[in-house]
Structure 1
Amino acid sequence: MAAEGESYRLAFPPRAKPHLSYGIPFPAACAYHVTNTFKASKVYIIVSNSIGKTSNFTDLKGALEGKVVGVRKGIKPHTPWGDVLEIIHEVRESKADIIITLGAGSLTDGAKVVALALANNVSTTEDLGKLPVDVKTPGVKAPKIPIINIPTSLSGGEYSPFAGATDTRNNHKAGFAHPEMGADLIILDPTLSITTPAQIWLSTGIRAVDHCVEGLCSLHPKAGDETDKGFSDGLKLLVPNLLITKKEWENEDARLKEMLGVVEAMKALGDGIPMGGSHGIGHQLGPLGVGHGETSCILLPAVLKYNFLHGDEKVRKPQQKVLDILWAEESVIEVLKSRGLEKDKADAGDVVGAIVAELGMPRSLKDVGVDRMQLGALADNSLKDWWLPTNPIPLTKREQVLEILEIVVGDEETKSIL
C-alpha cells in the first residue's frame, strides 16, 4: 500500500519483488514502509561515507524514530570480503530485522551478500569462500532479512539477483547469486541524486547504457522482441536525459527519467539475458581502483569495436539496433554530428564512444591510472568471469581479452582505434 502522494508499484510484474517508490521524499517513504510494509523495528543502515556526513542521513535517522540499531559508514569500492564479514557480524549481533542502504555500488552489492551470508551461517573468510554460487547451485538458502535500497547512482545493481565482492587474497571479484537475493523495495528520489558527484552519476549512467547495449547485442536464445523492448526503452530514456543532466545538473525530471530507464534495462536483464565482454572485463577492472561506471565508459566502445571487427553478420547485425535508436534522438544526433560522425559511416563503438566523451567521462585505462604492466593479470582474472563466454564472440582466450585492452590502454605504445 502506498503512502499519501507516493507512486508505489512492482518494478517487474509479475515478479514479487522489488517494489518501486517515488514521488515523496526518501526519508518519509522509507519510514512508512519500514513500519507499514515490513513491520520492522530494528533497522541496520549501510550509508556511504560522504552521505553519512550530511543532513540526508540525519533526516533518514530522524524519520525512523529510534528504530536504528546499527550503522555502517562506507564499504570500500568493489565490496571487499573483509567489509562484508564485519557487517555480517554487526547485523547478527544487533538482531536487526531489516537492512537499509543509502548510497550505491558497493553498498548495494554488500547488502545482498550480507543477506545471503546470514541465511547460510557464514562467519569467516573460509565460509564466504564456499558461498560464491550461481543461480542453479543446490543447497543454498534464500536470504530472509528484507532490504530497502535508496540508490544515489544509476548502476542498477539494486535490481539484480547477482552481486560481486572482492576476495582480497587474490584480488578476484567473486560472483554471488540467488533468485531471491536483492532489494525488496527501491526508493527513487531525484532530489537526493543531485548531491551525487557528477563523475559517479554520469559514469553509472553509462553503466546502465552498457546494460542496454550489451543486451540488445546479445545472441542468447532468450533474446527477442520482448527483451529488446526493455533495453530499447531504457536506452531511449537514458542517453538523451544524461545529456540534459550534463548541462542542467538540477533538472529533476531528467533524473527521474534516467532512474526509470535503469528499471527498463534491468527488467530485460532479469529476463535472463546475459551481458558480454564489457561487463565481464569490467568486473575485474574494478578492483584495480576503477569505478563501476567508469569501467563501462572505457570498455563498452572497445568491446563493440572488437565484436564488429571479428564478428560475422550475425554478430554485427544487432549493433544496428543500437544505432537506429540513438540516431533517432535529436539531442543525440546533435552531439554525434558535432563530434564529426556520419550516420552511414559510424559504427556502434564510434557512437557510444562519442556519447561517453560528450559526458566528459574517461576513455582509456591511462585515464583511470591503470598501466600496461597490469594487463596480463587483468586478462587472467577476466577469463574467470561468467560473462566473458556470453559475449557475442565468446571470449575464452587470454589474447582476445588483451586485444580489447590494447584498444584502450591509452599509452604511447597504443594505436587506438577509438
Structure 2
Amino acid sequence: MTRHGRCVAETRIRDADGRLRKVTATAGSQRAATTRLKERLLDRPDRGVNGTLSPSTPFPALAQLWLADLDRRDLTETTKNGYRDHLRLHVGPALEHFTLGEITTGRVEWFLKSQAAVSTSMARRSRTLLNLLFGFALRHDAVGRNPVEGTSPLPAPKRSPQALTLEQVAAIRAAAASWRTEPGLPGPKSDGNVRDIIEVLLGTAMRPGEALALRPCDITDDERGMVLHVTGTVVYTRASGTYRQSHPKTHASARRIPVPDFAAQVLRRRLAALRPEDSERTIFANRTGGPLSPYNVRRTFRDFLQLAGLEETGISLRWYRRTGATVVARGMGSDAAATFLGHTSSAITEGHYIEKDLSVDLTPAAHLQRTLRPVGPDGTLLDRPAARGEETLLRAVDQEADDAVG
C-alpha cells in the first residue's frame, strides 16, 4: 500500500507475551519497504524468551549462555573442556561478528567446507558443536530453524581405518624394549610403563585411558585365565591435573575383558611388584604413585615410533584398539567385536530387552593370543577379507573421543 506518497509494508506478529502486534515499515518502493519490514521483524527483542535470545542476539551472547548451560549438564569435565576449547579456538572466532539471524545455512556451509579443506575431523567437531548451540537457540525461540541441518554431508575419510600389521607390531615392540636402555645415556632409564601399556592395549583393545586406570582390584586371575573389569578412566583437566575417574566414558564401557596370555603375563609381573595395600592404586603409575600423565604416554609412544622408523605412518595409540577390533571382527563377527569394545548400541539392547549376562566369553582372548603373541604370531585372521560391518565398526572407533589419550 502507499501512504503520503510512500510505500508501506505491514504485518501482524504474535510476541512472546502472546499478544498480536502490528509491525510496519515505510520506504520509497514496495520492495524496499518489504525488506525493511523483514529487518524490523528480525530486530524485535520480544522474539526470544524474556528477551534473552533473539535473531538480533550476537553469536558470542548465545555461546555464553550455552556454556553456562553446559556447566550444568551431566558430562565428563574432559568432554566439557573439549567443547569449550573448540568453541574458543575455532567456532567462536569465525562467527563472533554475526547475529543469530545472520548465521544462515549458506554461511555455516561455507565455514564447514573451509574447515574440511584443512581437517575433516575438525569440521566434524565444529558441526557437532554448532548443532548443539543452535539446538539450544531453537529451544529458546531465538531462531526459526537450525541452520546446520541443511548443510552438505562432510566428506568421509579418504582411507579406510587401518589395523597394525604384524611387522609394525614387531617393530614397535622392539623399539619399546630398547628405548633408553643404552649404557651411559643421560637422564632416567625407561621404567617400562609405556612398553607394558602397549602390550595391554594390543591384547584388550581398551581405550588408553581405561588401561591407565586399571587397578589390582579390577583384575581376577584363576585357572580359566585373567579377566579385567573396566571401572574407570584416567582424565586430565586444567583444574585438577591427571586423576583416575571412578567411571569409564560411557555406561557401555563398564565391561569385563578376557586377557590373552601375552598381555596377562605383563600384568602378572606388575601385580607381583605391588603390595597388598596397593589394591586401589593404578597399576601403571608415575614415580609418586599417581596415575600416568596421558601426555607423557603419547610422547613416549612417539619416541617408539621414531626409533622403529614409523614416525611418518600416522600410527597412534588408537591403532591398537583398531587392531584388536579387526582381529575379533574377523574371528567372531562385527557384533561380537562391538560388544568386546564396549560400544553403546549393544549395551542399550541388553539393558532394555535382555537380562544382563555376567559370564565372560574367552574366545576373543584366544583370537588375540594366536594373532598377536610376540613369538610365532599367526596372521591368518588379518589376511582374511574384512568382516561384514567391519569398516563401520572401525570408523566408530576412530570417531569416539577418549578421555585420556588419542
Q: Common fold, TM-score beyond 0.5?
A: no
TM-score, normalising length from structure 2? 0.23
